[in-house]
Structure 1
Amino acid sequence: MRKSTKAGKDGLPGGELLRPVLHRRREGGRVLASVVWKAGPGWRMLSSGVLGGGLGERSFVLNAQVDGDYRRIDPAAHLAEIAAAARMRGPGVGMMTAADVTGVRLGADGGVEALATVGIGRPTWAADAAELDEARLDAPLAGPPPGTINIVVAVPVPLSDAALVNLAATVTEAKVQAVMEAGFACTGTASDAICLACPVDDGAHAPDPFGGPRSRWGARAARAVHTAVREGALQDAARRG
C-alpha cells in the first residue's frame, strides 16, 4: 500500500527510512547542492556509483550536482571531497548528476522507499547504433542541458546478494516504464546510477532471496521507483518546456 510523504529538512521529501538533507558548496563560481542520506551503520548497499560502488556495508549516500560540462578525471576523489565537506564519515556511496538535485522526488510503497533525481537533457536508448556512440565521443556539448537519473532505494529487510542483483534489474525496468510514460522516447541517459540499500543480516531471519518485479519487495520497490521517477520526469519535461 502506498503511503503519503511529507517535507523534511530543507523542504526535501522524507520517509521513514530515507530522510535526505541538503548540503551546499561553492565550486567553479557556482553554488551547487548535494542530497545526502545519512544512513548510519547497519546498512548493506549495492551501487553503480563511482564512489563506493559494488556491494558492501555503507553508511551514507551522496547525490551531488556538478556542472554540465564536467571535466575532472577523478570523480571518486571529487565525491570523497564533497562527502568530507558534508561531514560524512566512513564508507559511503557517491553519485553525480547535472540535474538540479533540490527537485528530488520520493516514492514509497509497503515499507520500500525510493529517491530519484531526474534530468533527461540527452535521452538515450540502451541499445543504439555503434557508429552513433563513436560519433558522440568527439561531439561538442550542445543542445539541452545534460542530466542523469539517479535512484536510491531502501528496503526495510535484509536481502540476499542474488536478490539485490535481481532488484537492480527490477528498479531499472521501473525507471524505463516511468520515463516512457512521461513522454520520453528513451530508456534513460548514458550516466544513470542506482543505489540499493537493505539492513545487514542480523541472523534472526534468513535474507529474502527474491527481488524480481513479482516478488514481495521487488514489486514494492518497482512501484516506489516508478512514482519517484515519473514525477521527476514530468517535472523535468515541464522545466525544459
Structure 2
Amino acid sequence: MVNVPELRVHEKALAWNVPPGWRALSSAAVGGGLTEPAWVVNVDVGGGFARTDLSGWAGEVAARLGLTGEGCALLTAADVTQVETAEADGVVAWSTVGVTRPTWALDPRDPVEDPPRPGTVNIVVAVPAPLSTSALVQAVGTITEAKAQVLVQAGVPGTGTASDAVVVLSPAPAADEVVFAGVRSPWGQRIARAVHASVAAGLASHPWPADDVDPTVVW
C-alpha cells in the first residue's frame, strides 16, 4: 500500500508534505486546479482576514512552516487544531468543520442580500491509488456529496458554506491508473466513507446551530 501524506499540526495551521510524483485537484484559494504540489496547508486566518495578495500571504505561511516549493493553501476561520481524521481502506480524509453560516447552492433569497459570512468546511483527502484526471474530478464530486449528506442528515439548512474548499491527492497516473472514483465505484465508496466520518465528527464537535446563530435564517 502506498503511504499517504502525513498531517503536521502547527499553531493555527495544518500542513502536509506531498510526496514527489503525487498530484492534486483542488479548489484552494492558492494553488488550485490540477497541480503537483509540494505541500498543502489549511490555515486559521480568523474572522477578520482582509489580505488580497493571497499568493504572497501563502508564501509567508509556507516559509514560517519550513515548506519549500509550490503548494495549495486553504483558508478558514475554524480552529484547525480540532481537525478530524478518518480512514477507509487506505483513503484518509481530514476535515475542519465550521458551519456557522450554512448555504444552499441556489440562494433562496429574492432579492439576494449581502453574501453570507463564511463558516468554512475544508477537506483534504489522500487516495493511495493513481487516479486518472477524470477520476480526480469524480473524487471531488464524491467528496462534496458525502459532505452534503452529513449536513442534510444532521438537519443543517444547507449543503455547505459559501467558502468551502477541497483538495484531493493521489499518485500520478500509471499503467494501472484508476478511472472511476464516483460514489458507486470501489475507490469512491472509500472516499465517501472517510469524508462522511471526518465531517460528521467535526460537526459533532461544533453542532448546528451554534450559540450565536439564528437557525431560522436561511442563507
* TM-score normalised to structure 2 length: 0.89
Q: Aligned partners of 2:9, 2:209: CA distance in 1, in Å?
A: 21
User: Which structure 1 segments of 5+ residues have no match?
Assistant: 1-15, 25-32
Find the counterpart in structure 1 of residue 4 from structure 2: 17
* RMSD (Å) for aligned C-alpha atoms: 1.8
Identify the range of structure 1 (217-226 vs 122-131) with the bigger mean alpha-carbon deviation.
122-131
Q: Is the 8 A contact 2:138 2:182 kept in 1?
A: yes
Q: Is the 8 A contact 1:181 1:230 kept in 2?
A: no
Number of matched pairs: 209
Find the residue that maps to 2:56 and give its secondary structure: helix
* Alignment deviations for residues 113-148 of structure 1 (CA, whole Å, 9 cap, x no partner): 100000011111111136454x214x8x6xxxx520
Superposed structure 1 runs of 4+ greater than 4 Å apart:
none
1 or 2, which has the higher helix percentage? 1
* TM-score normalised to structure 1 length: 0.81
Matched, 1:177 2:149: yes
Instruction: Kindly state the Cα deviation for residue 206 of structure 1 after the two structures are TM-superposed.
Output: 2.8
Find the counterpart in structure 2 of residue 3 from structure 1: none
Find the counterpart in structure 1 of residue 196 from structure 2: 226
Instruction: Kindly state the Cα deviation for residue 70 of structure 1 after the two structures are TM-superposed.
Output: 1.8
Find the counterpart in structure 2 of residue 235 from structure 1: 205
Instruction: Write the letter of the residue equivalent to 2:177.
Output: P
Q: Is the 8 A contact 2:100 2:208 kept in 1?
A: no
Q: Aligned partners of 2:60, 2:169: CA distance in 1, in Å?
A: 23
Matched, 1:73 2:73: no
Q: Aligned partners of 1:163, 1:132: CA distance in 2, in Å?
A: 38
Q: Aligned partners of 1:60, 1:114: CA distance in 2, in Å?
A: 16
Matched, 1:195 2:167: yes
Find the residue that maps to 2:114 and give its secondary structure: helix
* Alignment deviations for residues 42-82 of structure 1 (CA, whole Å, 9 cap, x no partner): 21000000111000211211000012122112223212211
Instruction: Write the letter of the residue equivalent to 1:154.
Output: A
Find the counterpart in structure 1 of residue 86 from structure 2: 107
Aligned ranges 1:1-241 → 2 under 5 Å: 17-24=4-11, 33-129=12-108, 131-133=110-112, 135-137=113-115, 146-201=118-173, 203=174, 205-237=175-207, 240-241=210-211
Q: Is the 8 A contact 1:157 1:198 kept in 2?
A: yes
Find the residue that maps to 1:107 and give its secondary structure: strand
